Structure 1
Amino acid sequence: MTPQDLPSTGNIDGLVALAKTYFDAAYAMDADTFATIFDPAALVTRRGDGDSVVVTPVAAWLDVVRSLTSPHDAGGVRADQILSIAMTRDMALLKLRLRIPPREVTDLLSCFYLNERWQIVQKVFAAETLA
């Protein structure tokens, strides 16, 4: 990859657009929209019971998403936040917070600039039940 092939610092707009697509997909629980922003080799990671870690291929995670009731359909109020964006050349880390009742979810999304666009390659998340 040559310097002119790398995304410019102005490409932070692409990461903001990816976050907005992510928020829209989460509010609608739209697996097809999620699939457009995840690399097919991506993994989804969360804490399991106790001190275990659960890692799921994105295709299996998308199957679970398809079975969930969306916050939109449940009458949930959106509370989307981009907490931070860190970008180094062709990789970035997005820290997002969103509400998927009855939980508030914090996502760390590792992204690579691939095929002329930002794509999520790793999702690590934690969820807390809303009071």
Structure 2
Amino acid sequence: MTDSAITDILAVVQTYLDGLYEGDTAKLRQAFHPASSLFAAADGKLMHVPREEWCKMVEGRASPKANGQGREYDRILSVDRTGPDTAMVKLNCAILPRVFTDYLSLIRLDGRWVVISKTFTAETLPAETVPA
């Protein structure tokens, strides 16, 4: 894997993390392909949220930044480039009191990396452990 590919993949991930933290859907739309979706299991059922539906949800809530939350939970755990045009990134982030583990599938189209899908799980922290 070339250093430039890693740099480009990490730049997309940082745009995602910044957009999520700031509640900036322009950044989220930049990082995620228009056809992308988010997936999770909720009560044993598939939760499927297309990008635009997710962006509307983000626009409808206070951002972690606006709530005074820090970014201590933002961590890139692994980057796996599986071919010249595909990669998988595992990371943590938070919208307190929930801490997320995300798996971002990225593809390179026309020389640009974008997230094509996000699969995630969340853990709700006990109230006494959430920073004030």
Match of 1:53 among 26, 46, 58: 46
> Are residue 43 (structure 1) and residue 43 (structure 2) matched?
no
Match of 2:63 among 64, 67, 70: 70
Identity across aligned pairs (percent)? 35
Gaps of 5+ in 1: 1-7
Q: CA deviation at 1:125?
A: 0.8
Residue number in structure 1 paired with 2:2: 9
Question: Deviations for 1:63-88, whole angstroms, at most 9, x for unmatched residues?
Answer: 11111111111110112100000002
- Give distance in 2, aligned partners of 1:37 and 1:115: 14
Residue number in structure 1 paired with 2:112: 117
Gaps of 5+ in 2: 127-132
Q: CA deviation at 1:115?
A: 2.1
Question: Deviations for 1:10-43, whole angstroms, at most 9, x for unmatched residues?
Answer: 2110111111111111111111110011110101
Match of 1:106 among 78, 101, 113: 101
The structure 1 segments of at least 4 consecutive aligned residues displaced by more than 4 Å after TM superposition are: none
> Are residue 25 (structure 1) and residue 19 (structure 2) matched?
yes
Aligned length: 123
1:78 counterpart letter in structure 2? R
SS of equivalent to 2:12: helix
Q: TM-score, normalised by structure 1?
A: 0.89
- Give distance in 2, aligned partners of 1:69 and 1:127: 18
The CA RMSD over aligned residues, in Å, is: 1.1
